[in-house]
Structure 1
Amino acid sequence: MNITSLYAPVHIDDSSVVGEQCVFGYPKEARLRDEQRKPGSVLIGDPVSIGPECLVANQVVVYEGVRIGAGCVIEDRVRIGYNSTIGERTRMVYGAYVCDRVTVGADACVAGFVCDGTTIGERSTVMGELVHEYTRPHEGWWGADEEPPVIEPDSVVGYGARVVGGVRIGPRSYVAAGAVVTKDVPPEHVVTGVNIHTPAVEWPGRRLRGLLQHWQSMPSSRTP
């Protein structure tokens, strides 16, 4: 079925299910400001596409230019900002707040806060906060274009963890719940506390043993 809103054309595959009180194709701020400056002009946003066999729950807000791949689950109260891409079979959960121009790979799971321009790799889980450094507030809200975090494939950012600035996590790295990351995390490391990095092969804990063994068995793993 094809739906044309006041702001952006929307295509939702016939096999997908959509809940109640959802908004699709909402225009980005710049487009709304242009309309305010030129009243009566027609707002035509970038198209929204939702692939086959998706489940979109209630009170979901999807801005213009968003592309959602096949088989995704978008839970209640999720927000996806403009020109973002969600890979196939990904789950957006717990009211995730995804800002603008975010790229999420296939088979990922995302909750928490994800800042503009972030990249989240395939099969990764993000339950914490991915934020900019915000070191130049004097330049205005739109004046500074800061580097976002990059979460490489098969990595985990635990609940309540915070990744700050243009740092790179992984691949196959684990940021524990409540940890703070302001430095790059090498492949196959565990992060606890504030920037405490432990190679996965040296991790003494039992609870991550199954995950670490799984990483080691992967063909792309760099662990001997």
Structure 2
Amino acid sequence: MTNRYAVILAAGQGTRMKSKLYKVLHPVMGRPMVQHVIDQLNPLQLDELVTIVGFGAERVKEIIGNQSEFAIQEEQLGTGHAVKMAEALLKDKEGTTIVVCGDTPLITSDTFSALFNFHEKEQASATILTTKADDPTGYGRVIRNIDNEVERIVEHKDANEVELQVDEINTGTYCFDNQALFAAIKEVSNENAQGEYYLPDVIEILRGKGDKVSAFMTENFEETLGVNDRVALSKAERIMKKRINEQHMRNGVSIIDPDHTYIQPGVRIEQDVVIHPGSIIRGKTVIKENTEIGPNSEITNCEIGEETVIKQSVASDSKIGDRVNIGPFAHIRPESTIGNEVKIGNFVEVKKTEMGDRSKASHLSYIGDADVGSNVNIGCGTITVNYDGTNKYLTTIEDDAFIGCNSNLIAPVTIGKGSYVAAGSTITNDVPRDALSVARSRQTNKEGYVSRIKNRKRD
């Protein structure tokens, strides 16, 4: 098999984005554009991947990490100049090199693979990924001769009136014979309207040498979208959201309103899950069979078991078991583990807590830094008082305990197995097993008090 290499062009600042964030780092569905490109190239089993960086180089390198080699383009003098920066890493190697822009997050692995295969089958020196555009304004035009062979690519600003009528456009993605690429790129000049070194000029140089230049056309124009401003970024977000949602639905997930459901790449959802409108599911979330999410729930980096229901709630960085009922308006904060058949009701906040099977906190409670056993009932208004202003402390509630409404459990404290805490108690000491703890003032009734006060006001 021919050796395969890739060069990602990611050096531009992206002034049209009007942002302090470098263009290729702008997220599409929560993931930087350049990372989408890498994700789609990875299945091709490349022998080497080189990313050309310039503006924000250190930040781009930090995001990509060891997924790529890097070459620096100190001055942004055009795409041809950018590719030349990879010369030291690639020029002596035999094989095929794909060149792709870091701001084209929608091109799929299937398209990259088809381009590689077509190029190698044609034994071409260069192959252009092209498509047809209803409105080709701003795109380089692919100019063919009377034999339908590619002659050259003309940038929009350099095109004449006839060339501007061509609707076949250059997507900015190419495959090259690696040796031919770096030989030809030395001959690229900057005698054009922009005063830049254009990579497409390599096509005309290769043609002039008698080398074979081919074009592989994709029918999916949307896939080739380059993101240069916030409008295009929004379009890319919409297209990728639709692509992701449709893939989940084909895999057996019911998404009630795909236009209003946001699921990031990397989320895994098993069949017969139902996602209601307004739900946002991010990160490395895993949702198992027959679970129901939403409406209006936000899930980030969670593992959620089977037959669980999460309504109008937020959960992040936590593990949630089977047949759990959460919400509405609950908040599961990071580092929580919710057992099976647990109920976390409305306006309950859980943070850094392990909650055992079949335990319940049905409403209006805060459970933070706690170890809660199984079959525990936590009454309305209960608070684990875990913070003294300096340190956080653990509350332990053992199996089968019953915590009455409006209780304050002052950590560190342990509520023993099977014990009861009376409503309205403030617990500062451990409660023994099977005990009843009452920690409140004794009730005093002053009979006739109200009448005396009223009579005093009339006098």
User: Could you say which TM-score interval applies, normalised by the shorter chain?
Assistant: 0.5 to 0.7
Q: Is the 8 A contact 1:104 1:121 kept in 2?
A: yes
Question: Which structure is higher in helix share?
Answer: 2
- Rg comparison, structure with higher value: 2
Q: What is the count of residue pairs matched by the alignment?
A: 161
Q: Which amino acid is the alignment partner of residue 110 of structure 1?
A: I
CA distance in 1, matches of 2:272, 2:295: 17
CA distance in 1, matches of 2:334, 2:243: 23
> With structure 2 as the length reference, what TM-score do the two structures score?
0.32
Q: Which has the higher contact order (CA 8 A, sep 6+)?
A: 1
Q: Which amino acid is the alignment partner of residue 83 of structure 1?
A: N
Structure 1 residue 199 displacement after superposition: 4.5
1:70-117 per-position Cα deviation (integer Å, ceiling 9, x unaligned): 211010011001111001x21111221111x20112x21123001201
The 3-state SS of whatever aligns with 1:11 is: helix
Q: Which amino acid is the alignment partner of residue 90 of structure 1?
A: C
What is the root-mean-square deviation of aligned Cα atoms in Å? 3.2
State the partner residue of 1:161.
Answer: 359
State the partner residue of 1:104.
Answer: 315
Question: What does 1:33-112 correspond to in 2, within 5 Å?
Answer: 47-87=260-300, 89-99=301-311, 101-105=312-316, 107-111=317-321, 112=324
* CA pair 191-204 structure 1, distance change in 2 beyond 3 A: closer
1:35-74 per-position Cα deviation (integer Å, ceiling 9, x unaligned): xxxxxxxxxx862111121111010000111111121101
Q: Is the 8 A contact 1:17 1:56 kept in 2?
A: no
Q: Is the 8 A contact 1:76 1:94 kept in 2?
A: yes
Of 250, 256, 274, the residue aligned with 1:25 is 256
Q: Find out whether 1:190 has 2:421 as its counterpart.
A: no
Q: Is the 8 A contact 1:76 1:93 kept in 2?
A: yes
Q: Which amino acid is the alignment partner of residue 176 of structure 1?
A: G
Q: Find out whether 1:175 has 2:383 as its counterpart.
A: no
Structure 1 residue 12 displacement after superposition: 6.1
* CA pair 52-163 structure 1, distance change in 2 beyond 3 A: same
Q: Which amino acid is the alignment partner of residue 103 of structure 1?
A: V
CA distance in 2, matches of 1:56, 1:168: 30
State the partner residue of 2:336.
Answer: 124
State the partner residue of 2:445.
Answer: none
Q: Which amino acid is the alignment partner of residue 395 of structure 2?
A: H
CA distance in 2, matches of 1:126, 1:102: 15
State the partner residue of 1:151.
Answer: 350
CA distance in 2, matches of 1:70, 1:13: 17
Q: Which runs of 5+ in 2 are unaligned?
A: 1-105, 107-221, 223-238, 387-393, 418-459
Structure 1 residue 174 displacement after superposition: 1.5
* CA pair 62-161 structure 1, distance change in 2 beyond 3 A: same
CA distance in 2, matches of 1:62, 1:25: 6
Q: Which runs of 5+ in 1 are unaligned?
A: 3-8, 27-44, 133-147, 206-224
* CA pair 204-198 structure 1, distance change in 2 beyond 3 A: farther
CA distance in 2, matches of 1:25, 1:80: 11
Structure 1 residue 177 displacement after superposition: 0.9
Structure 1 residue 202 displacement after superposition: 5.9
